[in-house]
Chain A
Amino acid sequence: MDTQMLINLAYIAASVIFIFGIKMLGSATTARKGNRLSALGMLIAVVVTLFDHHIVSFQLIIIGLIVGSIIGLIAAKIVKMTSMPELVALFNGFGGLASLLVGWAEYQRVAAASASVESLTDAANSVGMDIAVGMSSFTAAVTALAILIGGITFTGSVYAWGKLSGKLSGRPTLFNGQKAVNAAIAALIIVCGVVFALHTSGGLATTMVLLLIVLSLVLGILAVMPIGGGDMPVVISLLNSFSGLAASAAGFVIANNVLIVAGCLVGASGLILTVIMCKAMNRTLSNVLFSGFGATVQAASGKTEGELKPISAEDAYYVLEAARSVVFIPGYGMAVAQAQHAVKELGELLENNGAEVRYAIHPVAGRMPGHMNVLLAEADVPYEQLVEMDDVNPTMGMVDVAIVIGANDVVNPAAAEDTSSPIYGMPIINAHEARTVFCLKRGKGAGFSGLENVLFLRPNARMLYGDAKASITSLVTQFKES
């Protein structure tokens, strides 16, 4: 058997390992093993590739691998758990850009090779021989796709990183004619792709490739711009899906199975996650992507009766002290205030006081899928105490105290009751059904969607104003002093 055959067999093995790895990532008990398994698959794929006979020079490869690995290693080790969403977005963008570059590099390689055989071709034509110059139309088309998806993934992810890390405004950014501009760019991209597929060599082809790169990069920014912070979980998982599809497209460019399979698996898993996120908000993907939700504050959907009733930490303590069942409902505000450790401490005190303590997690709480779970895990909250929305809702009526920490729209009863509300139909955690609800909030402002939260006006709701971490800490102090 020749080397190329062995390499391909190893690629099959790597693909199988990826499949098992992803499968195991889907279950809590096997997830860590699954991730390590998939890393092994990656190692196999990288090592056998080094034996590929196409590779004649190792200098750039070795330097590139070392530099990239060190950067990745350091970034992964020093990042704070609270900055995890940004980092994942950034890594994702890098993967997309890498796929774009692979497509571009393959075009340049073929172009250079074609240039050197062109004179030969003239001679061949004169004697009636036919030598192909440039890429095939199919390869050109998938190269355009790799560039397009990779480019969107890169700038889209970097823009998302900016929003998540607070370097750019989390508010949706809209300008006049935005949709028209996006449509025009998309149309231009299609034109470039078609022209490139029809003329795969020469100056025109190179112009088209460069134009495609620029347009894709611009489109990535424009696409993420109008999407608000609260919709980030959808965007992040969609970009994750794209990075896989970009790798898959790059796999078509160089006719490599392991890229196609692994990329496609990631594309599919990212898409599933995207759909889960959309369902959790009762919105369609196109609504999330194109509506600029939350940019315009909807005309107050009327009748907000009742008043906000503030409560002091001391009074809140007396209620908690008597509670037998407590549910924490965290939201993005907990992440902003970095309150997870204080929350965990309060949770333990309540448990020692004889209360049953649970943490109810809404699927889109926070800025990325599973954001709250990561934060609470960082604070050593055992995952048995984390309950999903569908499991906690039937029991909410028996809960003595629900503590809403910096969450807003995901506990807004208007979503269930007010048909005129923009978030009507979005599944929520039924915090309002608990006997008492404490709402930890920095100020009186509305949520991400710009809506007044009718939960805060309910007779059983009490507002605990101030920084979430400070509020929780003062409750902890009350417990310790008594």
Chain B
Amino acid sequence: MDILVLLVFIFVLAAFLGFELISKVPSQLHTPLMSGSNAISGITIVGALIAAGETTGTLSAWLGFAAVVLAAVNVVGGYLVTDRMLGMFKKKDAVKKAD
């Protein structure tokens, strides 16, 4: 039971940290923040990797495999699309230079 309490403890602290971290975000960054944090939620890939590799040929492994594919799409696509988006946010001088 101790380990469970510890996990809940970590969860609660992380929640407070999360709320403190980004209390004020300029609206211009709402989309990148969303898609960037969406990529982070792909961390479930860690669980997927373990499930896919733990056994072979079982239903559990195949479910893990599907989870790896989906989570990898989420992670790779999410980070790249966010980077592409942020690359477009330019300052005025940078825009002038690009012209």
Residues of A within 8 A of B (CB): 18-19, 21-23, 25-28, 31-32, 34-36, 38-39, 42, 45-46, 49-50, 52, 54-61, 63-65, 67-69, 71-73, 75-77, 79, 81, 84, 87-88, 91-92, 94-95, 97-99, 101-102, 104-106, 108-109, 112, 138, 236-237, 240, 243-244, 246-248, 250-273, 276, 361, 363, 368-371, 373-374, 377-378, 380, 382-386, 388
CB pair B79–A35 under 8 Å, yes or no, is: yes
A39 and B76 alpha carbons, distance in the complex (Å): 9
23 contacts between A and B (CB under 8 A): A26-B21, A26-B22, A34-B36, A42-B39, A42-B42, A45-B45, A49-B46, A71-B77, A72-B80, A77-B84, A102-B67, A254-B51, A261-B11, A265-B18, A267-B18, A268-B22, A269-B37, A272-B23, A369-B30, A370-B32, A374-B88, A377-B88, A384-B92
Residue pair B29, A31 in contact (C-beta under 8 Å): yes
Total interface residues on B, CB under 8 Å, equals 84
Q: Quote the shortest CB–CB distance from B15 to chain A (angstroms).
A: 5
* Residues on A with beta carbons closer than 8 Å to the beta carbon of B98: 380
Task: List the 6 shortest-distance A-B pairs measured between CB atoms, nearest first.
Answer: A68-B72, A268-B18, A72-B77, A64-B68, A370-B30, A55-B53
A28-B28, A109-B54 provided; 10 other pairs, C-beta below 8 A?
Answer: A42-B45, A61-B53, A94-B73, A95-B74, A108-B58, A250-B47, A265-B14, A368-B34, A370-B29, A377-B85
- Which residues of B69-99 are within 8 A (CB) of A? 69-92, 94-95, 98
B91 touches A61 (CB 8 A): no
CB of A31 within 8 A of CB of B77, answer: no
Chain B: CB-nearest residue to A38: B40
A242 smallest CB distance to B (angstroms): 9
Q: A72-B77, A240-B37 are in contact. Are A101 and B70 (CB under 8 A)?
A: yes
CB-based contact B46/A256 at 8 Å: yes
Cβ contact within 8 Å between B54 and A266: no
What's the minimum C-beta distance from B78 to chain A, rounded to whole angstroms?
5
Query: Do the beta carbons of B51 and A19 come within 8 Å of each other?
Result: no
Report how far A28 CA is from B69 CA in the complex, Å.
32
B-to-A contact residues, CB < 8 Å: 3-4, 7, 10-11, 14-15, 17-19, 21-56, 58-92, 94-95, 98
The answer to whether A46 and B49 touch (CB under 8 A), given A36-B83, A377-B85, A377-B90, is yes
Beta-carbon contact of B53 and A108 below 8 Å: no
Contact B84 A76 (CB under 8 A): yes
Q: Are A252 and B21 in contact (CB under 8 A)?
A: no
Residues in A whose Cβ lies below 8 Å from that of B77 = 71-73, 75-76, 87, 91
Which chain B residues lie closer than 8 Å to A269 at the CB level? 18, 21-22, 33, 37
Q: Hey, which chain A residues are within 8 Å of B58, CB to CB?
A: 108-109, 112
Q: Which residues of A contact B74 (CB under 8 A)?
A: 72, 91-92, 94-95, 98
